[in-house]
Amino acid sequence: MKKFLSLFLAVAIMLSCLLFLPVKSNQTSSAYYEASPVLVSEIKTELTSLLTTERIIRPAGSEGEKDTLDYILNTLSGTSGLVVLNDGYFSAGKQLVSFENSKGFAKTTYNVGVQLKSANPSAKTLSIITNVDNVPLVSYKQGANGQVATIYSYTEAVNESAGTISMMLALAKYLADSSLTFDFNINFVFCGAGAENNAGANAYKRALSADVNKNQLVLCLNKITVGDYNYFYTGDYSSNYSEFAAKYLNSDFGFRAFDKTTSITSGENGNIAHAGMEGAAGAFYNTQFNLISVFSGNYNGFASIGKHESQTHTEITYTENDTTSFIEIEYKRNVASNLGFVASAILNFISGPETATIAFKPHNNMAKINFANNEVLALTLTGAAVILIFVVYYAIYSALLKKSKKHMNGEELASVVMHIIGEQEMSRETEERLKEKIKDDAEKDGGANDE
């Protein structure tokens, strides 16, 4: 009987999962497409500049991180068409960031930012943001005296942050050199201390909060070098701006709408979060800002756990494999190709005729839950369905057991219950036994009534 109950519960869970899984659209999106040759070439140049010895080692608050931020600011401030941010929070393109690191020490770093300014005097501002720092690889070595030493080392961190930085640098210069004009300003912001509870991104969020209406739209880029697919995440609720993002990123460029709010992964600061909240996006999640988080990977499994860059390669990020050579030789991907494609997709998004209106329209987080795609809701309904099916089964079984335990064994009763709830047909032998029992009970009840 216990064996049968286990089998029944397994079937119930599978059926209810199929019943309540989110409905997905037929999205055909590989992350690797042809991108603008000009952008790809510039991305390669910038990536080479970032992968120098002094810039590879750039943990939060380090000299390497500050050297990288200085390089970014010097590169973009010298580009015609871009101006450094000076707004009370930024001074000469720098915003000071103070934080306490994981070891309890007070540290400082900064964010750097430049703006592609619109000719529109009442222009709102789109912010394109990424984190700059990387985290060390940790290993342990036991010495001859038995003591265990902690070893810290650094890799190129191409997918972790270097690739995204190089793409944003190339995109900013490309837009400044182009003849494109926009009805809104575009801020390119590079944040320090991302691994320390998003210290830089949170500082920038506070600056934007001084005028949310003007700074409504935020595009956060994270880990966009490696992945089978490109994703965009706009929160758990339907809104005008999320539908707008789907139009220009999904329909035009094949990005997948990330709705796997149960797909969790260890964040760079050790916290647990789903992939859409990683990187600078974590600072803007569930706020009044219109957040669009863009990243790459492979998150197609139900409630998938862990880092998923590819179906064939996982755990590239935060390992010694996060290098240009491994990605291009072992993983057989051109590092600049996806970066260039993501840049092209962003160009398409910001060039949309409705970007200045729909994408900046304030949203109400609780206005309309995306029932079709919200996986938290799907899991809740699945769990409720399993419990309900079990309760119904147990109630019917218990009722029949009280009446028939002297005449029918457990397997026969289970067969009757499954027949009642429409799951299987009874055998002829069980059916005859049931008829015999009903007749016997009817005669006994009739005798009692006659008395």
- What's the pLDDT at 415? 62
Indicate whether 166 and 313 sit together in one domain: yes
- Whether 34 is in a domain gets the answer no
Give the CA distances from residue 57 to residues 137, 148, 200, in Å, rounded to whole numbers and listed in that order: 11, 24, 18
- What's the pLDDT at 302? 53
Tokens at 234, concatenated: 């706009």
- Whether 59 is in a domain gets the answer yes
Indicate whether 91 and 126 sit together in one domain: yes
The rounded distance, in Å, linking the Cα atoms of 288 and 367 is 12
- Whether 31 is in a domain gets the answer no
Per the CB < 8 A criterion, the answer to whether 245 and 234 are in contact is: yes
Indicate whether 394 and 367 sit together in one domain: no
Indicate whether 382 and 340 sit together in one domain: no
Question: How far does CA 296 lie from the centroid of its chain?
Answer: 9
Give 373-385 as a DSSP string. Answer: T-HHHHHHHHHHH
The rounded distance, in Å, linking the Cα atoms of 446 and 451 is 9
- The candidate with the shortest Cα–Cα distance to 161, out of 283, 64, 35, is 64
- What's the pLDDT at 20? 41
Q: How many domains does the chain fold into?
A: 2
Contacts of 147 (CB under 8 A, 6+ apart): none
Mean pLDDT by 10 residues, the chain (451 residues): 50 48 38 68 96 93 97 96 96 97 93 97 96 95 86 95 98 95 97 96 97 95 93 83 89 84 53 80 92 90 62 86 93 90 94 89 60 51 75 71 56 59 63 68 55 44
- The candidate with the shortest Cα–Cα distance to 76, out of 113, 48, 110, is 113
Indicate whether 43 and 141 sit together in one domain: yes
- The candidate with the shortest Cα–Cα distance to 162, out of 29, 258, 71, 85, is 71
- What's the pLDDT at 349? 93
Indicate whether 69 and 173 sit together in one domain: yes
Indicate whether 323 and 416 sit together in one domain: no
Q: Which of these three, 334, 355, 373, is where a domain ends?
A: 373
Indicate whether 249 and 392 sit together in one domain: no
- What's the pLDDT at 33? 45
Indicate whether 345 and 400 sit together in one domain: no
Query: End-to-end alpha-carbon separation of the chain, Å?
Result: 38
- The CATH code of the domain that includes 317 is 3.40.630.10
Helix (H, G, I), strand (E, B) or coil at 246: helix
Tokens at 384, concatenated: 């409720």
Helix (H, G, I), strand (E, B) or coil at 295: strand
- What's the pLDDT at 32? 42
- Whether 29 is in a domain gets the answer no
Indicate whether 322 and 385 sit together in one domain: no
Strand residue runs (E) in 249-388: 256-257, 264-266, 272-274, 290-297
Residue 211 φ then ψ, to 5°: -150, 80
Per the CB < 8 A criterion, the answer to whether 64 and 57 are in contact is: yes
Per the CB < 8 A criterion, the answer to whether 224 and 295 are in contact is: yes
Indicate whether 72 and 58 sit together in one domain: yes
Indicate whether 359 and 417 sit together in one domain: no
- Whether 217 is in a domain gets the answer yes
Per the CB < 8 A criterion, the answer to whether 233 and 370 are in contact is: no
Q: Which of these three, 314, 338, 373, is where a domain ends?
A: 373
Planar angle of CA 146, 150, 154, nearest 5 degrees: 150
- Whether 288 is in a domain gets the answer yes
Report the DSSP pairing between strands 94-100 and 137-142: unpaired
- What's the pLDDT at 264? 59
Residue 253 φ then ψ, to 5°: -125, 5
- What's the pLDDT at 62? 96
- Whether 27 is in a domain gets the answer no
- Provide the domain limits for residue 67: 39-373
The rounded distance, in Å, linking the Cα atoms of 219 and 376 is 24
- What's the pLDDT at 441? 62
- The candidate with the shortest Cα–Cα distance to 126, out of 289, 321, 257, 303, is 289
Q: What are the start-end ranges of the H helices in 285-427? A: 324-325, 335-350, 375-404, 410-420
Q: Which of these three, 334, 353, 373, is where a domain ends?
A: 373
- Whether 355 is in a domain gets the answer yes
